[in-house]
Each structure stands twice: as structure tokens, then as C-alpha cells.
Amino acid sequence: MNQHKNCPICQSNHFVEYLTVNDYFLTNEEFHLQKCVSCGFIVTNPFPTSDEIGRYYQSEQYYSHPDKKNSLMSRIYNFIKSLNIDYKYKVATSGLIAGTILDIGCGSGDFLLKAKNNDWKIRGIEPDDRAARFSESSLGINIIHPKQIVELENTQFDVITLWHVLEHVEDINEQARQLKRLLKTNGRLVIALPNINSFDAQYYGKKWAGLDVPRHLYHFSFQNIRQLMENHGFKFLKREPLLFDAYYISLLSQRYRSRFLYPVLAVLLGLISNLKAKKSREYSSNIYIFYLPEIVK
């Protein structure tokens, strides 16, 4: 296991215990969340080394593979997934002329296919070999591994997207440096993250599926992600909700708590979370949009 000695955002070395959580998704192992006293950032600490982390992803349910099942639930899931892709594309590219887009953690390529069909030049990064090979077949492009990001040329992307990816990345400051290197001046950075300050996060506590330890190494609030990216020269533009995430995360969370009527209760909790977030803006998941301003000399 690795240990965070300093906060990745403010570099403080003072953490306090926040919550003890089990890996309800796969191993049921116990992990500790710690909170930075200075900036409030919550981290999984200690966390698995790069050699250890692979076994926590060894589940067919985890990666975004194409679902060819024809059950009612599969059809509903794929319909909602299609709506979500359309919404993500609209938020990520609103007001922009089609250019070059990089999707980090592109899975089976659904978002990139949407962008390609709207005349964007596309590139993808994906750690899972099976998902990457499917993307290559369906998109007709080469999908690279995250370790190869350093091989990409500087300032070549108009938009970079990370859909629920940054919370998995061990060195978030190095990731931010690479994003800054790759993005064009005034380019757009789109980051989707679960929100630890949401109503459903507070309601479910240690059984909130958005914690997803130890795969989620970090647990962001709006203030945390904004401070991190501003540390690297990005400017915050806006945030938008991912409304369907409240229902999906509540479905998993309710099942971790009790299987009694869990789909019904999950829908109710997801609805309550979204309604409360209309005022607070603390949705279960948010899309945070940044841009890279021109440096005035």
C-alpha cells in the first residue's frame, strides 16, 4: 500500500480520519478515508500500489463493454445510456466549432462515436485492453494506453474529456500537467466526478457507491476540483449536473444497504437528491468545465 503524506491539492501534511469504508463492489476489504485539515480534500489513505490496484478491477461489471443482451433492463439501460451520451456531447461541445477531441478513459467508445458523427477528429485513451480493442474496431482509430499520454504532441486538442476518470488516477497533479500541455489555448477541459457533498452521499454514508474504494483514490467536492485545476492555470467556466447518476449510484448504494425494495427506494432517493440539488447545485455527479486562458505577457 502507498501512503499520502501530503495533500495533492494544498500540500498540507495534516490529515484526520474521515470514514472507514468497505469495498462493497468486489472484495469487501476495508479502507480508510482521510480528510485534509487545510483544504478539506478527502483521499483513500493508504491506497493500493500500481502493482496491487489491478485486482480491484477484475470484474465484468466494471468496464464499459458493449452490452448485447436483449432483456428489458438492458434495453432500458441502453436507452438511458444513449440519452446520457447525447447530453454529455452537448455539454462538452456547446458553442464550439468541430475540431479535435481527446477522451481519456474512453471505454468502448460511445462518446467518441458521437463526436465523430458530428465531424470531430477523435483520439482516445483507455487502460482496459478489451474495451480499447472494441473502440479501435468501431471507431477506426488507434486507442492508446494512459502511460502513452506523454507521447502525444503539445497543444493539439480543442477539447479534452474525462468522464469519471480523474478519481482513479494516482498522480492527479501529473495528470493536470499533461492536460495543460495537450490543450490548446482557450481549449476546453471537461471533467465529470462523483460529488461527496451531494445529498445521496450524505444519506448513504459509508455505503455510498460513489466512494467505490479503493478504485476511487480521491473524493472530490466542487471546491477541491476547482482549486486543483486553478493550481495548474486552468480557469473555471461552469458546472452542469449528471442527473441520471443520482439514480444509478443510489441503486448500487441501496443494494449495499439492503436488497428489500431497493430499486424503488433508489429511485426515490435519486429523485430527492436531484430535487435538493436544484438549489444547492450539489448533484450526485457534476460535469466541471474549465478552459486554458491565453497567457498575457
- pLDDT for 59 equals 78
Query: Is residue 297 predicted with pLDDT exceeding 60?
Result: no
CA 209 → CA 25, 76, 80, 186, distances in Å? 8, 21, 19, 35
- pLDDT for 101 equals 98
Residue 296: pLDDT band (50, 70, 90) is very low
- pLDDT for 73 equals 66
Note the pLDDT tens digit of each residue in 102-141.
999 999 999 999 999 999 999 999 999 999 999 999 999 9
Query: Is residue 143 predicted with pLDDT exceeding 70?
Result: yes
| Predicted structure pTM score | 0.95
Range 59-63 average pLDDT = 66
Query: Is residue 70 predicted with pLDDT exceeding 80?
Result: no
Query: Is residue 199 predicted with pLDDT exceeding 90?
Result: yes
Note the pLDDT tens digit of each residue in 238-274.
999 999 999 999 999 999 999 889 999 999 999 999 9
- pLDDT for 66 equals 54
Query: For residues 61 and 138, which has the higher predicted lDDT (pLDDT)?
Result: 138
State what percent of residues in the chain have pLDDT above 90: 89
- Whether 124 and 141 have beta carbons less than 8 Å apart is answered as yes
- pLDDT for 58 equals 86
Range 148-167 average pLDDT = 97
Range 184-205 average pLDDT = 98
- pLDDT for 77 equals 78
- pLDDT for 76 equals 77
Q: Which domains does the chain have, with CATH numbers?
A: 69-206+221-291 (3.40.50.150)
Range 187-209 average pLDDT = 98
Note the pLDDT tens digit of each residue in 75-93.
777 888 899 999 999 999 9
Mean pLDDT score across all residues of the chain: 94
